[in-house]
Amino acid sequence: MVITKKLFELLKAECYPNGQRSLYLLGVVNFLLNFAIGAVITSILAPLSLIFPVHILVKRRSSELKLSFMVEELEGTLRQHLCDGTHRRAIFIGPYYSQFPNTQLAQMYGEFFLLLNLRNKRIHRFIDYVWPILKIRRHKVLLLDKNFLQLWESSEELLKFSSEEVRKGHEYLRTLLGNEKKQYVTFCAGSQKYREKIDFGLEKFVRPLSIIELDQYLGAFNLIKSEGFDIVRFGKFEEGLADNLKELLIDSCETRSDFTDAFLNSRCRFVLSGVSGGWWLSAPFNKPVALTNSPWLLGTSNSSSLFIPRIPWLIEEQRFASFSWQIKNFDWSANLTNLGVVYESSPNSSSQIIDLVEEMLKRLDGEWHDSSEDLELQARFKRLQEDLPSHLRTSARIGAKFLREHQHLLP
């Protein structure tokens, strides 16, 4: 029944592309060709799946693949199968419908997955026609296990750089920092230039709240520098730094590559992030993230990570929205109809960002001690997050001082 329904959907897509009935005959021929080749591939994979289970990942078909999509899906899949010991004896097929957002990570995931991207466009069509029989499974990665973020947290990192890549990476660090053993923090934040370059064709991704002023981070930068760490900015299509920031940040953007972005974030002390998906580069390597200006009440995939969210101000009621309101209106920051009309939001203050970074530095050094009040507030906040879909219940902690200041927003 499931196979019949899937074939009907594929036939409809081939025969009536964009509703053009004039292409019906061509669509039927194309469908029959793909069906035949899909049957051949199935006849090979089906008996093989009895020894090596075959997992075909159903990907998001966005016009441009986001880094967060790629890492969340591939890493999430690997971590789940790592926990039951099947990641080395299963075949994972990941058909992507665009270019990889980071070719270095794609190469490293290639050790575990048969990855198909835009260059293998025709093969994508054939994979769509593989039948889910015997131990061939076709599934969305986020439905594999409801607790995949918890599984992620409890498992080890799987991606490894080759010895040559490590040598190349150390050479890059010597050039950038003067010493490959120098400890540093990486920093990323969305810019107007990046948003203009990366257009996903979906209005909700163009978030007015995703562009922030870097001056908000000056105090945090000074704190990090005073602790003896360098700060390395990374990212694609980033704008030039103002003179006052050039004294605090080492800019890797001008010499960046997909490899340097990945290597930098695999060796950093932690990532300081604005509204940017760049922190996902550190996720496969279990690096903590200090996430600021989050438009959602959640952080990253690591329990060592911290976050502070934006708080929407309800204009008519003249009050801040409660945390429960934000859970119910989870995607409020993407609602361009209500944003600025029903509610508005300002970025995290400089002092809030400093507090978060200070907590991160102390936690990593083992110098942070939660008070009984902190433990109670965190527990209340975690109970609130239980109303989120299970795959969004991250293990990251909300900033302790931020939560103390906003405890009146808890139920």
* 253/265 Cα distance (integer angstroms): 13
Q: Could you tell me if 307 and 299 are in contact, meaning their C-beta atoms sit under 8 angstroms apart?
A: yes
Dihedral of the alpha carbons of 136, 138, 142, 148, in degrees to the nearest 10: 0
* 104/73 Cα distance (integer angstroms): 16
In a domain, 160, yes or no: no
* 309/349 Cα distance (integer angstroms): 11
Q: How confident is the model at residue 201, as a pLDDT?
A: 46
256-268 confidence digits (pLDDT tens): 999 999 999 999 9
> Is the pLDDT score of 367 beyond 90?
yes
In a domain, 163, yes or no: no
Same domain, 269 and 378: yes
CATH code for position 189: 3.40.50.2000
Same domain, 304 and 399: yes
Q: How confident is the model at residue 79, as a pLDDT?
A: 81
In a domain, 354, yes or no: yes
- For 103, residues 6+ apart whose C-beta sits below 8 A from its C-beta are 258
Final residue before a domain boundary, out of 86, 120, 154: 154
Q: How confident is the model at residue 217, as a pLDDT?
A: 96
In a domain, 168, yes or no: no
In a domain, 21, yes or no: yes
In a domain, 236, yes or no: yes
Q: What does DSSP say about strands 313-314 and 319-320: parallel, antiparallel, or unpaired?
A: antiparallel
Task: Identify the weakest region by mean pLDDT among 159-163, 170-174, 188-192.
Answer: 188-192
Spatial CA neighbour of 180 closest among 192, 167, 190: 167
In a domain, 238, yes or no: yes
Same domain, 80 and 140: yes
Dihedral of the alpha carbons of 227, 233, 239, 242, in degrees to the nearest 10: 20
Q: How confident is the model at residue 78, as a pLDDT?
A: 81
Q: How confident is the model at residue 10, as a pLDDT?
A: 62
| Sign of the four-CA dihedral 112, 117, 122, 126 | positive
As for how many domains the chain has, the answer is 2
Q: Which domain covers residue 14, as residue numbers?
A: 2-154
148: which 2 tokens?
């995949």
Same domain, 21 and 148: yes
Q: What does DSSP say about strands 397-398 and 319-320: parallel, antiparallel, or unpaired?
A: unpaired
Identify the residue with better confidence: 46 or 152: 46
pLDDT over 90 for what percent of the chain?
51
Average pLDDT, the chain: 85
> Is the pLDDT score of 349 beyond 50?
yes
42-87 confidence digits (pLDDT tens): 999 999 999 989 988 776 555 456 788 888 888 878 887 776 666 5
Same domain, 187 and 323: yes
Find the mean pLDDT for residues 209-229. 91
Same domain, 143 and 182: no
In a domain, 264, yes or no: yes
Same domain, 274 and 380: yes
* 75/80 Cα distance (integer angstroms): 9
Same domain, 18 and 102: yes
Same domain, 114 and 193: no
Find the mean pLDDT for residues 281-290. 95
Same domain, 280 and 383: yes
Q: What does DSSP say about strands 306-309 and 271-273: parallel, antiparallel, or unpaired?
A: unpaired
Same domain, 135 and 260: no
Q: How confident is the model at residue 290, as a pLDDT?
A: 98
* 406/324 Cα distance (integer angstroms): 13
pLDDT over 70 for what percent of the chain?
80
> Residue 79 half-sphere exposure, CB side, CA atoms within 13 Å?
26
Task: Identify the weakest region by mean pLDDT among 86-100, 137-151, 368-382.
Answer: 137-151
Report in angstroms the alpha-carbon separations of 360 from 224, 304, 356, 364: 10, 8, 6, 6
Same domain, 142 and 191: no
Residue found by looking up tokens 């290597």 in the block: 263
Confidence band (pLDDT; 50, 70, 90) for 199? low
